[in-house]
A and B are shown apart, each in its own frame.
Chain A
Amino acid sequence: MTGRARARARGRPPGQETVLPSVGAASVQQALVSQAPRQQQLPGLPVPPSVSEEPGGRGRRRGPENIPQHPGRRRPEGLHISTGFQELSLADRGGRRRDFHDLGVNTRKTIEHVQDSKTGSSGSTIKLTANYFRLTSRPQWALYQYHVDYNPEMEARRLRSALLFQHESLIGKTHAFDGSILLLPKRLENKVNEVFSRTRNGEDVKITITLTNELPPSSPTCLQFYNIIFRRLLKMLNLQQIGRNYYNPNDPIVIPNHRLMVWPGFTSSILQYEESIMLCVDVSHKVLRSETVLDSIYSLYYQVEEQRFKEACANELIGLVVLTKYNNRTYRIDDIDWNASPRSTFRKSDGSEISYVDYYKKQYNQEITDLNQPVLISQFRKKSGNIMAGPVVLIPELCFLTGLTEKMRNDFNMMKDLSVHTRLPPEKRQCQIGRLTDYIRKDDNVQKELRDWGLSFDSNLLSFTGRVVQGEKIFQSGKVSDYNPHFADWSKETRGAPLISSKPLDNWLLIYTRRNYDCASALLQNLFKVTPSMGIRMNKATMIEVDDKTEAYLRALQQSVTPETKIVFCLLSSSRKDKYDSIKKYLCTDCPIPSQCVLARTLSKPQTAMAVATKIALQMNCKMGGELWTVEIPLKQVMIVGIDCYHDTASGKQSIAGFVASLNQTMTRWFSRCVVQGRGQEVVDGLKACLQTALRDWFRWNMYLPSRIIVYRDGVGDGQLSTLVNYEVPQFLDCLKSVGKDYSPRLTVIVVKKRVNTRFFTHSGTALQNPPPGTVVDVEVTRPEWYDFFIVSQAVRSGCVSPTHYNVIYDTSKLKPDHIQRLTYKLCHMYYNWSGVIRVPAPCQYAHKLAFLVGQSIHREPSLLLSDRLYYL
């Protein structure tokens, strides 16, 4: 079991583990549905990053000549204003680039009952501010788009610009020109303007400037333009771009204990929101490591034994984002090639062969000292223009690590040191955000640029009113409790009350090693103490002592598990992943019975022993099909589905989609299945099969089929919304059609997004605070073309709470927005591994847990015999 899984299994609130703002690798977007096209990029000769030999090495992605061109026309979308421009593209413009903000997707228009209003009504109002600033422009502001033609035709863009700008008296000083499209903040007197310029060698050129469009402030081109202008401003402020965000390298936070350097920075975007165009700014921290990949490989070499060395390198490094020494690009490590070395050669664009050592020496004056190091392979994420995207070869010695590895995330001390700097409480966060607006206000050049375009930003954070819906009552068997809405946690309130449904702990095994005998028997005693009050009947376990070897555990399982065995408890002495994996694999596939693995260390502290025993008893009960608590769900005949994905980046091979569907009215029992998807396979086929079996099981439980199905779809990356709308939803509908002729349940599909830059603050006196759990926002910061809302469901102990974004992309339920919001919030109460409210609806978290277990340890679909229990908790 990796530490992360352990952390989740041991009752850390799932809402808290991603509170840390996007640090490094974590922000790499992974796409399940977009894996198929990616595969086609694999073939092709490996090339080092800059063979295009464009200075800066970014050329391949950025150079204007690489933009796919429509024949006859110059980049219709293209305004070559700054390099940042190329990064944005609008879906409806046919660009291949990812549309990070899902701009082209308009789902609200298809949902009839939210045409007029998509807002809820229940709860008490609360004054909120958010990290948004209104973009303001002069009244009647518009951007004027002109097409510029040359006769005779002039090829060089620079020359075209020079010729055009001879007429500055006509067009004015403020303009953006990419060689054919000219954007002006003012309208020229005539629609068509003909002017003449003379080249320096006396050739007369007729330039025709024709008005093609008057762009209102909210037009897609304008939005794109704002973002470009804003990026230009960030560059003017000397912020460094890494990935999509901008960082300030001048006062870094150095954490020498761990060789980390943290750059404070910003993530920003300008979009059309419900009422106005706004700039969303959030604080972002980039974790950089003053260690090269080679340093990391060296230290691994001394840490692990020889036969596991390469595997350890793969585990540690694959999936990490590196920054090269010689240019400002980041790459994701997809593979390590042990057969190649810096002495290997590649073919340059001019056809000559050169070795990596010589290339980097010649091109960048970079010495490679270790000639035996392997090389790293990175697949190009983006395919651009005429250059066939092939894998890129990187030299470990020339690559710096960024972000955090799984191992570092599990290092409690490191995370603690880091979170001091990165986990900003509301007050500090607002202060940091304010710094950016300060920079903008104080910089003359920036102000001039904005003034020339007639734009400005509000100086205050956006404020508006949200709602706080009331907390839920927690029902146990014979007891109803309220919880303190401030903490969103009911572990105290529910302690000692019987569970809704308890499974007897009678026929079970406890496997331990000799040195952990005391630990095992202490646990047994504690379980005897805590189980009666929960209503769990318990017998002594069959105690089995084994050697501390994987084979010994497996042999014990093979010999002692009988058809009557209800659950197996394995007490492990170390967090060796292979042992955990083997046990889980065996008990999930070959011999399907629930299992509980616990580290002896977890049980060793006497002061927490009782609490740990209680948690273990609850978890084991869930794994055997018990039910802990419920909340009131007024909606009848509804099946709730949760879907989440896990990407096995380490082996780079497969993605796993977890699929969890409710089986009963109280949402206490769930059907769980997963799809193991090889590279290039579409995940939707598997999901169809899951939905079919879920409906079959529902029918077995209820003797009728659900009349409503509500799908919570997690694990959707930025820019993948259209794929979901266009492929996945139709597949669901198809599947439902195939169930029976007269069966047409109402379907609702809701996309759940945890990683958002939106932050809400509330005032308490003069201080800024996190909004309380249950805060719902469906105004101002939502998008007009979507049926979407935010819910803050969890409470955090430190830092800023991050709201979860819900986007209803398909809905024939006719349920009022208020009901959908309330139901969503209720479902956040139903995750049995945490007696509190979590960030996402429970089925999503279950689906995540399942996908994680399968992706990390089992690697194939677990037996369906387990599918009616939460065996993966």
Chain B
Amino acid sequence: MDKNFPEEFTEIIKFTPPLYKQRYQFIKDLVGKYKPKKVADLGCADCTLLWMLKFCSCIEVLAGLDICASVMKEKMHKLSPLPVDYLQPSERSLTITLHHGSVAHKDPCMLGFDLVTCIELIEHLEESELQMFPEVVFGFMAPSIVVITTPNSEFNRLLPGVTLFRHPDHKFEWNRMQFQNWALETAGLYDYSVEFTGVGHPPTGMENVGFCTQIAVFVRKYPRISEFSQSEKPTEAVYKTVFKAVYPSLKDEKYLQNAVVSEVIFTAQIIKQNLLDCLMAEHEEYDDDPTERKSKFQPSKNCFSEDLGKLVVGKSMEPFVNGNAVYIPLRTIFSFPKVNRLCGTFEKLCKLIAGKVTLSSDGSAVMFNTERE
């Protein structure tokens, strides 16, 4: 299903940005407005929209469905986590799944979504498929919002070279009346409200033909179906999963622990270094470069030593040297904003670093041996 193909090839009307991007942007804006957690794209083709949506921080579950597995596979690895997602696991969890199957079939994996998008999908459906479509999407999946876009055939006369349809695989192209009738009927049947809009403005003087792409936004009128009634629905899986990526997230204990241990050790090292530098400075006879600094480049983050000055208050929190070992109380480390944010509570901190970081005998401080230096 080629969503990107038709409009931008015409020479007379050229949309900026290209029409397919305007459609995607429309969805992105909608996501920004409604903040759905679970989004499915039906007819996801080469996954471009899914790829754009994965950057939306509200989304935790993304699913794509297409009748053609090879077109999905072509670029599906774009949806894999990036190295950075492992380096800095994010707070939110994100799972992206691609399914191979038809919108004319029901599969339980499509249940429970907040937003379902069908970008330039319906005009590719055979009549029998189109008949099944409302029942599957509105009746079975029943998400809170459904977005459907389709070409507006009234616009076609402005597109030179378009004789019958804009794309050879289109089974039909509707005018505004046809689309709106179909949409209103469907909305009525499944208890949704619907509003119409579009992207791709007609040129001046031709406003009467309407948008190049017509869009219908359906909103479910009744509250979310309870888990119970959902389980009554047919639960036989008919789609084939072709791709699944689970993004590293701090919600996963494993990644959280890694992050906390890293941050604790790093923070402790900085405190240790500051402490040792201070001790050294007392012994040092003279200072090598007492240069004054003034800068245009002013880091807006606080440096650690400043933080330290503010944070280390109570005596019990002060790091100290004892023989060959430096002790940095966990309380001090916990007071650093990054560590604090990651762990939440001091107890959690202790639990997470247990066995991973060398502690003093009473477990209250991180211990470093200075002998190695």
Q: Is the C-beta of B81 less than 8 angstroms from some C-beta in chain A? A: yes
Q: Given A56-B75, A199-B168, A309 and B2 touching (CB < 8 A)?
A: no
Residues of B close to A372: CB separation below 8 A: 296-298, 300
9-residue interface stretch from B51-59, B142-150, B208-216? B51-59
Q: Is the C-beta of A8 less than 8 angstroms from some C-beta in chain B? A: no
Q: Given A56-B78, A301-B299, A240 and B83 touching (CB < 8 A)?
A: yes
Contact B301 A238 (CB under 8 A): no
Contact A201 B83 (CB under 8 A): no
9-residue interface stretch from B113-121, B221-229, B287-295, B319-327? B287-295
Q: Given A249-B83, A256-B262, A365 and B294 touching (CB < 8 A)?
A: no
A-B contact pairs, 25 of them (CB 8 A): A55-B75, A55-B78, A156-B5, A159-B168, A161-B70, A162-B68, A201-B168, A201-B169, A235-B77, A242-B83, A249-B86, A256-B263, A298-B301, A298-B303, A301-B299, A305-B293, A306-B293, A307-B291, A309-B297, A323-B84, A324-B84, A326-B82, A338-B297, A370-B299, A372-B298
Residue of A nearest to B87 (CB): A290
Q: Tell me, rounded to whole Å, the shortest Cβ–Cβ distance linking A631 to chain B.
A: 40
Q: Tell me, rounded to whole Å, the shortest Cβ–Cβ distance linking B353 to chain A.
A: 10
Contact A306 B295 (CB under 8 A): yes
Q: Tell me, rounded to whole Å, the shortest Cβ–Cβ distance linking A320 to chain B.
A: 15
Count of chain B residues near A, Cβ 8 A? 56
Extra contacts, 14 of them, besides A55-B52, A200-B168, A326-B82 (Cβ < 8 A), are A55-B48, A162-B68, A199-B169, A201-B164, A240-B80, A249-B81, A249-B86, A252-B86, A259-B262, A298-B299, A298-B301, A370-B301, A372-B300, A400-B83
**Which of B5, B55, B171 meets A326, CB within 8 Å?**
B55
Q: Tell me, rounded to whole Å, the shortest Cβ–Cβ distance linking B67 to chain A.
A: 11
Residues of B close to A83: CB separation below 8 A: 75, 77
Residue of B nearest to A348 (CB): B17
Query: Quick one: which of B80-136 are within 8 Å of A by CB?
Result: 80-84, 86-88
Q: Is the C-beta of B269 less than 8 angstroms from some C-beta in chain A? A: yes
Contact B303 A302 (CB under 8 A): yes
Q: Is the C-beta of B217 less than 8 angstroms from some C-beta in chain A? A: no
Contact B86 A56 (CB under 8 A): no
Q: Tell me, rounded to whole Å, the shortest Cβ–Cβ distance linking B203 to chain A.
A: 18
**Assembled-state Cα–Cα distance A694/B55 (Å):** 61
Residues of B close to A199: CB separation below 8 A: 168-169
Contact A55 B51 (CB under 8 A): yes
Q: Is the C-beta of B372 less than 8 angstroms from some C-beta in chain A? A: yes
Contact B261 A254 (CB under 8 A): yes
Residues of A close to B84: CB separation below 8 A: 323-325, 400
Residues of B close to A363: CB separation below 8 A: 55
Interface string of A279-303 (1 = CB under 8 A from B): 0000000001110000001100110
Q: Is the C-beta of B266 less than 8 angstroms from some C-beta in chain A? A: yes
Q: Is the C-beta of B175 less than 8 angstroms from some C-beta in chain A? A: no
Contact A200 B169 (CB under 8 A): yes
Q: Is the C-beta of A369 less than 8 angstroms from some C-beta in chain B? A: yes
Residues of A close to B346: CB separation below 8 A: none
Q: Is the C-beta of B308 less than 8 angstroms from some C-beta in chain A? A: no
Contact B17 A301 (CB under 8 A): no
Q: Is the C-beta of B187 less than 8 angstroms from some C-beta in chain A? A: no
Residue of A nearest to B297 (CB): A372
Interface string of A358-372 (1 = CB under 8 A from B): 000001111001101
Query: Quick one: which of A235-256 are within 8 Å of B by CB?
Result: 235, 238, 240, 242, 249, 252, 254, 256
**Assembled-state Cα–Cα distance A562/B294 (Å):** 44
Residues of A close to B55: CB separation below 8 A: 326, 363-366
**Assembled-state Cα–Cα distance A316/B234 (Å):** 61
Q: Is the C-beta of B258 less than 8 angstroms from some C-beta in chain A? A: yes
Q: Is the C-beta of A257 less than 8 angstroms from some C-beta in chain B? A: yes
Contact A328 B300 (CB under 8 A): no
**Which of A158, A200, A290, A328 meets B262, CB within 8 Å?**
A290
Q: Is the C-beta of B201 less than 8 angstroms from some C-beta in chain A? A: no
Interface string of B222-266 (1 = CB under 8 A from A): 000000000000000000000000000000000000100111111
Contact B2 A156 (CB under 8 A): yes
Residues of A close to B56: CB separation below 8 A: 365
Q: Is the C-beta of A153 less than 8 angstroms from some C-beta in chain B? A: no
Contact A257 B265 (CB under 8 A): yes
Q: Tell me, rounded to whole Å, the shortest Cβ–Cβ distance linking B339 to chain A.
A: 12
Contact B83 A306 (CB under 8 A): no
Q: Is the C-beta of B181 less than 8 angstroms from some C-beta in chain A? A: no
Residues of B close to A240: CB separation below 8 A: 80, 83
Q: Is the C-beta of A203 less than 8 angstroms from some C-beta in chain B? A: yes
Q: Is the C-beta of A444 less than 8 angstroms from some C-beta in chain B? A: no
Q: Tell me, rounded to whole Å, the shortest Cβ–Cβ distance linking B42 to chain A.
A: 18
**Assembled-state Cα–Cα distance A369/B300 (Å):** 9
Q: Tell me, rounded to whole Å, the shortest Cβ–Cβ distance linking B89 to chain A.
A: 10
Contact B301 A201 (CB under 8 A): no
Residues of B close to A235: CB separation below 8 A: 77
Contact A259 B266 (CB under 8 A): yes
Q: State the 10 A-B residue pairs at the shortest beta-carbon distance, nearest first.
A: A305-B291, A256-B265, A306-B293, A256-B262, A56-B78, A365-B55, A199-B168, A55-B51, A249-B86, A200-B169
Residue of B nearest to A154 (CB): B168
Residue of B nearest to A201 (CB): B168
Contact A350 B16 (CB under 8 A): yes
**Which of B165, B262, B269, B291 meets A201, CB within 8 Å?**
B165
Scoring B87, B88, B266, B301 by chain A CB atoms within 10 A of each residue's CB, the highest score goes to B87
Residue of B nearest to A62 (CB): B75
**Assembled-state Cα–Cα distance A413/B373 (Å):** 8
Query: Quick one: which of A315-372 are within 8 Å of B by CB?
Result: 323-328, 338, 350-352, 363-366, 369-370, 372
Residues of B close to A366: CB separation below 8 A: 55
Residue of A nearest to B124 (CB): A200
Q: Tell me, rounded to whole Å, the shortest Cβ–Cβ distance linking A109 to chain B.
A: 41
**Assembled-state Cα–Cα distance A365/B354 (Å):** 36
Contact A290 B88 (CB under 8 A): yes
Q: Is the C-beta of A261 less than 8 angstroms from some C-beta in chain B? A: yes
Q: Tell me, rounded to whole Å, the shortest Cβ–Cβ distance linking A700 to chain B.
A: 48
Q: Tell me, rounded to whole Å, the shortest Cβ–Cβ distance linking B98 to chain A.
A: 14
Contact B57 A365 (CB under 8 A): yes
**Assembled-state Cα–Cα distance A200/B124 (Å):** 9
Q: Tell me, rounded to whole Å, the shortest Cβ–Cβ distance linking A529 to chain B.
A: 31
Residues of B close to A297: CB separation below 8 A: 299
Scoring B299, B300, B372 by chain A CB atoms within 10 A of each residue's CB, the highest score goes to B299
Contact A201 B299 (CB under 8 A): no
Q: Tell me, rounded to whole Å, the shortest Cβ–Cβ distance linking A457 to chain B.
A: 23
Residue of A nearest to B169 (CB): A200
Contact A306 B75 (CB under 8 A): no
Interface string of A367-388 (1 = CB under 8 A from B): 0011011100000000000000
Q: Is the C-beta of B170 less than 8 angstroms from some C-beta in chain A? A: yes
Residues of A close to B264: CB separation below 8 A: 256
Residue of A nearest to B73 (CB): A82
Q: Is the C-beta of B71 less than 8 angstroms from some C-beta in chain A? A: yes
Q: Given A159-B168, A327-B82, A254 and B262 touching (CB < 8 A)?
A: yes
**Assembled-state Cα–Cα distance A764/B57 (Å):** 56
Q: Tell me, rounded to whole Å, the shortest Cβ–Cβ distance linking A64 to chain B.
A: 11
Residue of A nearest to B83 (CB): A323
Residue of B nearest to A413 (CB): B372
Query: Quick one: which of B1-59 are within 8 Å of A by CB?
Result: 2, 5, 16-17, 21, 47-48, 51-52, 55-57
Residues of B close to A254: CB separation below 8 A: 258, 261-262
Residues of A close to B261: CB separation below 8 A: 254, 256
**Assembled-state Cα–Cα distance A370/B78 (Å):** 28
Contact A370 B71 (CB under 8 A): no
Interface string of B272-299 (1 = CB under 8 A from A): 0000000000000000010111111111
Q: Tell me, rounded to whole Å, the shortest Cβ–Cβ distance linking A229 to chain B.
A: 15
